[in-house]
Each structure stands twice: as C-alpha cells, then as structure tokens.
Structure 1
Amino acid sequence: MQKELSIINEKIAGIVKVDHQLVNRSIGTLNDNVAFIKLSLNNTFSPRALKAFLEIHSIPSNPKYAKWKVWFNSFPVTREYKSHYSLTIKNQQHNIFVFDVTPIINRDIKRKSHKLVIKNIGSTAIYVGYVLLTVQLEAENVETYHYYQVLTSECSYKSPCALSIPECTAYAKTQSRINAYYQSPPVEVFLSTSTWKERALFPTRIVDLVIEGCVGNRIVIAPNSHENMYLLSVHSYASNYDRPQIDIKATSTHKEREVEVEISVLNEGKADAKNLMIVGILYGNTIYNKKLQALRPGDVFTDKITVEKPKTPATIAIRAVWNEYGETIFKETKLNIS
C-alpha cells in the first residue's frame, strides 16, 4: 500500500463528485438543505500527512442545531477503509472543518463492504490515483423533500458488480445515474440493466446515463480485464415528486326549511392523499367531519350535508386537509346559501 501511494505522491488533480454530477475539482449545488459542499485535499499528498478540508455553506435554518454524520470512505485497489466522525454544526453561514484522514489509509479494516447504502442529503468526493475519498453528510433531524441514495460497489474481472436500483417512494419518480469510475489502463466494460445495454471503453469515456426505474432494474458491470478494479456508483434520486391534487366541488339544493349541499372531492394528482379530512364549516362551527385513510389518484368521494335554511344569506366552506411529507395542506371551496 505504501508503494502504491508513493506512485501518486503530489498528484492531487482528480475527479470531484458532487451529488449526481461529475466535475473536475469543483463545487456544486446539492439541494435546499445544503447549498454547496466542497471537499479538497492539502497540496502535498502523503500517507502520513493527509488532511481533507470540508467546507459547508448555507446550513439549514431549521433546526438551529443539526447533527451531521461525516463519513470518509477510501477505496484502494483491494481494500476499503472507513472512518466515522460525528459533529454538531451551529446555524451559521460558513463552516470549515479539517479532518485528519491518515488513519483511514494506514488502518486496515478487514470487513469489506460490497454494497454501501446510505440515505443522505448530499455527498462529495475526490479521486486521487488509487484512492477515492468520499465525504457524505447525513442529517438526522432535518426533513427534506429530496430522496437520495448512493449505492457503491467495487468490481473486478473475477467479481462483477450487480446493484439494484432502490424502490421508488410513494411520492417520487426515481431516476438513477450511473457513474463508472475507472483505473488505467483502458479496458472495455459491459454495463446492462433490464432496459438497456451498453459497452464502454474506459478511460476514454465515462458512462453517465440516467435511468427511470424502481426495484427490478438491476445494473451489472463486468470488466473483461483482470488487471483493474472498478468502482461503480449508482445515484438514485427523486425530484419533482408526484403529489395529490385535490379538487372540491359543492352544489346546493334549496328546500322549504333546509338546504342540501352535495360535495364532491376528486384526487386529480398522481399520488394518494393520505389521512384526508373533509370538513364543513358554517358560521365558524364545524357541521361536517369525515376522515378518509387515503384518496387514491382518480378516486372521487361524494357525500351530502343537510343544514337548516339560514334566515340571512350565509357561506358554507368545504375544506379538504391532508398530510404530505409531514406538512399539513388544505384546499377549500365556499358556497353561498340562503
């Protein structure tokens, strides 16, 4: 290992992976919770004095104190080293943390993980020669609308990789971006899933494909050379998630002493409206209350409300309330009766 590291001494230029994008030693935007993350190494690469500088900007405003887990993963040719740091970040706009990652390289952890699954809200990495250093931040108490997973596996000629795309969430369309990290010399690699097949020559080309799918779409990478080790990284993320879209209609039928109000609640969205509460309000008082476990896309709920005919014109409000990612959302319509 010492000999391998000496080969890449002071060769810091490499690939920085920011979220699901590949850029050359740069920074990028993650999501609303972390505006950007930057990971860099010191100017001199040495197995005895290697430090990673992590800059975090725009810490979430809520909560004021968020506990983050920082993971450093290095992927040498044959082994994987891990080191774990926990810290608490105060709510401020700029933080710089310096981590001594020397133990990661010098310490040999015998347990080898072929599949790494992390739910987090952002990651960044720097590739230096044989070693890929990764910092992944996982917020324990920060709610986010973004669903993000990283699946990582090492591949070789004798041990091809096979990774499954994670299950889609109820409110999200899952997309997976495949990044195959290579080591020279160039080698032909075969990538395939149930929906596409591709043969790529590395390092002249980096596979960077986006797949829409869920469980059952399995990714296989099989190098045809036994001289190299490959790292396949699959980024599955959900954006523009499908959500319920509730439409409420109310009509009234006036009789001699009472008014009959017919209500219709339709879910025109592409996701269930869970814990749906339908409420009728007249003169500030609740006169109707109906709870549904869920209103599925395309389903319609209908019912009737009979109220005493008011002496003066009044307004009845029909309100639908449901939960979405922990947030209470409501929509209402108003109907004049007299």
Structure 2
Amino acid sequence: MFVVLFALSVLVFLIFFATPGVDPARKMAGRNATPETLAAIRASFGLDRPLPVQYLRMMNRIVITRDVESYSNRGVRVIPEIMAAAPVTFALVAGAAIIWIVASIAIGLLAAALRGTLWDPLLMAIALIGLSIPVFWLGEVANLVTQQRWHDTPLFSWVPPLGYTPIGEDPVLWFKHLVVPWIVLSVLFVGFYARVLRSDLIESENEDFVRTARAKGLSERRVLVVHQLRASMITFVSLFGLDFAALVAGGALLVEVVFGLPGVGRLTYLSLSGLDLPVIMATVLYGAFFIVIASTVIDILYAFLDPRIRTA
C-alpha cells in the first residue's frame, strides 16, 4: 500500500513541478506579476528550493502535520477541506451504489432466466442504452427537466434547487438533494453490471455444481438464484469494489459538478483548474488510499464467494 501511495505522490508531484513550462508561482500571481512578486511567492511557498526538498516538505505537511494550505485560497487548510467534502461524495456514491446493485442484479437475473425469449434482447438493449449515455449529458438533461421545464408540475415540484444540505441539518432535504444525482450516477453502472452478470450466469450453466444441483431435484429458480448467482458474483464484486472506490476517490466528479455538490470530485476539478498543487496532491493520495483498501477487501470477499480460493 505504502509503495503505491509513494509512487503516485511522486508521479503527481513531478508532473506539476518538473514539467517544463509549469510554474505554480506564476499561476498564483497572475499574468502581469512582476519578477519581485514571483520571487516572493516562490520563497513563501518554498518553490525556490530543490525538488526533493519541496516534495518532502509538502508530504510532511499533508501526511504528518496536516497543515498544508491551498495555493489558490491563502490561509485555507487542505485536509479539513477534503474531510468536509468526503461525506458528500460518500453519500452520493453509496446511494447510487444501492440503486445500481439492486437494479443490475434484478435485470441480470431476469435476462438470464428469460434467455431465448423476446425479453432477453430487450432488457440487454435497455442496458446498452444506459451504458452508452454520457453521465454529464444525462445530468444536464435531468437538471433541465427537474429544475426548469417541469419543475412546477407535481412530478418534480419537490426537487430543491441545485446544491447540498448536510444530513445533520435536514435529513429530508438532504435526501431530496441527492435523489436525482443518485439516479443519474447509477444509470451507467446498471447497464454495465446487468450485462456482465447475465453473461456470467449463462456461462455458469455448464459448471459441475450446477448440474449436481439440478440432479438433486432443485428447481430452476433455486439453482439460478442460490447457486449460479453466488458463483457469478465474483466478477460482480471485483468490479463493484474498484468502481465504488474510484467514485469515492473523486470519480463522481462530473455528477458533483453538474449538480453543484461540494464533494471530493468537485474539489479536485477546482484544484486542477487553478493548478492548486497541495489540493491535487492530497486528493490523489486520498483516492489512492481508497482504491488500495478496496483491492484488499475484494481479495477477502473472493474467499467467501468461491471456496476453491480458500483451499488453494
């Protein structure tokens, strides 16, 4: 884990500091800054020191002392900003994950059970459409419908203006703010996971344990839902763990920007726009941490889902 985090931090640091033409001091000072102003900014942030010293100084302030400040917003500490944004992103991703897990399992099971009928290609076509829709476009369309065109109708009059309300302040308003973003974020994953699950369910029909279950007289429904589904969940869990971690790490950026949610993705977007290196470094490490943890958890779940892995 630490090797991965170290390598990523070095890579990001070199991209923004060792790349020719990149000058954070000039970005902070503006276009018409004098050489004296640039020199003062470099001295203030330690940008006039050797690269290894700059890297160690920044990592110390991010990981150990946690007092690193934003380049764009003087006096604003980065770590508290990320800690404030993380619950927003987690709430967004967790809600969307519940929707896409339930919907994709239902569609995948239904398509596999109805294989050979008209419903199978119809369900997969719907899943493919959901998979093909760009999330930012779907978000803008959802905003157009719920915030403008049909906002005054009974169907969408309950949708609040874009933004976010913490759950501690008003749980009902918190829920209303996130319903539409949850649906928008989940559409892509419902289509993808449903197709993957259907494929794995059909492939598992020729496995020995499926033939054994049928030979014991179990119903087709029980064989599909209990035996085939469990075996097919290995790929599902692997994809879910990495996708969930990537979204929590900032992968929900587009949805957060479109709906005005102050999450980690939106914070990363603003820091990239302003070349705010401390925020970029901190969000990258935050994201890498979740992805590494997710990989570890997936390995543990493998052993539970597939007994062959436990005995290997």
TM over 0.5: no
- Bigger-Rg structure (1/2): 1
**Which has the larger share of helix?**
2
**Which has the larger share of strand?**
1
**TM-score w.r.t. structure 2 length?**
0.22
Greater length-normalized contact order (CA 8 Å, ≥ 6 residues apart) = 2
**TM-score w.r.t. structure 1 length?**
0.21
